[in-house]
Amino acid sequence: MRQYLERIEQFRHLNAFVEVFAEEALERARSLDIRVRNGEKLGPLAGVVTGIKDVICYRDHEVSASSNILKGFTSLYSATAVERLLEADAVIIGNLNCDEFAMGSTNENSAHGKVLNALDTTRVPGGSSGGSAVAVQADLCLVSLGSDTGGSVRQPADFCGIIGLKPTYGRISRHGLIAYASSFDQIGIFGKNIADVAAVLQVIAGPDTYDSTASQREVPDYQTYLNEGNKSYKIAYLKDALHHEGLDPEMRAGYEQFFDNLKAEGHTVEAVNFDYLDYVVAAYYVLTTAEASSNLSRFDGVKYGYRTPAAGLELADFYKKSRSEGFGKEVKRRILLGTFVLSAGYYDAYFTKAQQVRRLVVEKMNGILSCYDAILLPTVPSTAFKIGEKMEDPIAMYLADIYTVLANLTGVPAVSIPLQRHSNGMPYGIQIIAKQFDEGHLLQIANNLLQ
């Protein structure tokens, strides 16, 4: 534990942590040591040093969603995922920087300042769970939790050269996860190997009476899946994704080479059409901003955190001023967009249309997955951006989510695993998608392909 705490100090400049729970983590480590000496049986994650994204509640600890509007707010209860980590004897070492309310792809929209990519500090780590990715990348903790609404676990994992899993929607309870877009949000896991990620999923997945969208399905034993190695799989890749004009040509060549290698190893790899790719980013941003505009209405200066110091305002003006001062630019942009697409005159043109696109994409995706074990596609069209590169152009930033939002629109589980290094020195990964609730096979395939 001391070694981790020293490393955290040494890598302060990366700005991955919002707060380090140093004393408390040491205390917990000591008590675990004593229990080991007493011959007690410890939980499955005993001593596993874990970081949590600053949108996940941990009782009596501050949580801010990296927003000024929640500055100084202390959680009254712990997220179910956190409760389960603690019951399994993991040690929570601190909370991790992210984009404000998990909105972003670079971790530059944070009230706590930007996070740097440890492999090249002139580049972003990705977002919104940038701190969670960098903490694992730089060995500041063993595993971490993030949240993935449109790619926020897989995309920073890709940019940082590590593994990022977004489970099926409903696999992990969202109780205690600060909501961005409730029909998309899912807690995800970062790690450096599949076995670690599987072990954490095993503990935190499963039904929860505090979240009616958490599935009642039993959680299978993931280790059994990992023990069965070396199978041949039937894999599809999306032709439209591979030939998309936005994809870096060197990465495209890398993926093609990888598919050829898989075929040579005896896997079936086939191209399938996916005509809706150009609509998924638009549908995602219409639906998620709509949900966000509703979810974020609770931050009104009265119930939580920040309130304007201005005196003598009418109630409506007090709300407006508190929200104008408390929220950052990107969050305000999304609340405005979401309010617009839900407004009476535009509801059918935007919100209903986007829901129809979502339905078509779900059907298409399920169709492909009924014929194949997995779908492979890039995680992001490029390697990590330079700091500041996309900040003036939100549309360019949104378009980079093209490959990740698919799994959130459809709810299927997806994992990003590191694949290769680009000639610019940065890593890039590949994304694997499997059927709903089939994390077992997803992790097994990822494990086999990583070798």
Question: Catalytic: 53?
Answer: yes
Q: Does 110 bind ligand GLN (CB under 6 A)?
A: no
Of 23 and 392, CB closest to ligand GLN:
392
Q: Which is nearer to ligand GLN, 149 or 202 (CB)?
A: 149
Q: Among 103, 179, 365, 406, which residue sits at the site for ligand GLN (rule: CB under 6 A)? A: 103
Stretch that binds ligand GLN, among 88-96, 149-157, 239-247, 349-357 (CB under 6 A): 149-157
427 binds ligand GLN (CB under 6 A): no
Q: Is 50 in the site for ligand GLN (CB under 6 A)?
A: no
Q: How far is the CB of 398 from ligand GLN (least distance, A)?
A: 7
Instruction: Return the range that interacts with ligand GLN (CB under 6 A); candidates 24-32, 142-150, 168-176, 356-364.
Output: 142-150
Kindly tell me which residue out of 51, 125, 150, 427 binds ligand GLN, with binding defined by CB under 6 A: 150
Q: Which is nearer to ligand GLN, 414 or 432 (CB)?
A: 414
Binding of ligand GLN at residue 291 (CB under 6 A)? no
Query: Is 152 an active-site residue?
Result: yes
Active-site residue among 64, 67, 75, 152?
Answer: 152
> Is 170:158 a contact under the CB 8 Å cutoff?
no
Q: Is 280 in the site for ligand GLN (CB under 6 A)?
A: no
Sign of CA dihedral 185, 429, 92, 201: positive
Binding-site member from 78, 80, 97, 105 for ligand GLN (CB under 6 A): 105
Nearest-approach distance from CB 151 to ligand GLN, in angstroms: 5
**Interactions with ligand GLN, residue window 152-181 (CB under 6 A):** 152, 180
Residue of 54, 100, 148, 438 interacting with ligand GLN (CB under 6 A)? 148
- 196 or 401, CB closer to ligand GLN? 401
Q: Give the Cα separation of 221 and 199 in Å (integer).
A: 9
Smallest distance, Å, CB 52 to ligand GLN?
A: 15
**Nearest residue to the partner ligand GLN, using Cβ:** 152
Q: Which stretch binds ligand GLN (CB under 6 A): 146-154, 191-199, 373-381, 409-417?
A: 146-154
**360-399 residues near ligand GLN, rule: CB under 6 A:** none
Q: Which is nearer to ligand GLN, 202 or 410 (CB)?
A: 410
For the stretch 307-321, what's the b/e string if a residue is b when 16 or more beta carbons lie within 10 angstroms of its beta carbon? bbeeeeeeeeebbeb
Q: Is 286 in the site for ligand GLN (CB under 6 A)?
A: no
**Footprint on this chain of ligand GLN (rule: CB under 6 A):** 102-105, 128, 147-152, 180, 288, 401
